[in-house]
Amino acid sequence: MSNGELRITLPPSLSEEEAKLLLAVKLYEVGKVSLGQAAKLAGFSKRAFMEILGRHRVAVFDYSSEELRQEIGL
């Protein structure tokens, strides 16, 4: 195995699609992949993946409170 390939045995309660989705969500959450990369890994459009991130309570935009205040002009 090489070139970014990973083989794992999933428990019967976890489908391959769900495992890809959860991996993509976590990789995006910790900043290891971009939104586009995570969406592609999970097999979704960016827009659909952004909705999925919301359901998993993962912020799409990672602003500090100060950056957010500056961005919205407060």
Decide if 38 contacts 49 (C-beta within 8 A).
Answer: yes
Q: Specify the pLDDT at position 2.
A: 54
Tell me the per-residue pLDDT of 17-71, one tens digit each, with 9 for 90 and over: 999 999 999 999 999 999 999 999 999 999 999 999 999 999 887 666 676 667 6
Triad 46, 54, 23: Cα angle to 5°: 65
Q: Specify the pLDDT at position 71.
A: 64
Distance in angstroms (rounded) separating the CA atoms of residues 28 and 46? 12
What are the tokens at 66?
């100060």
The pTM of the full predicted model, rounded to 2 decimals, is 0.76
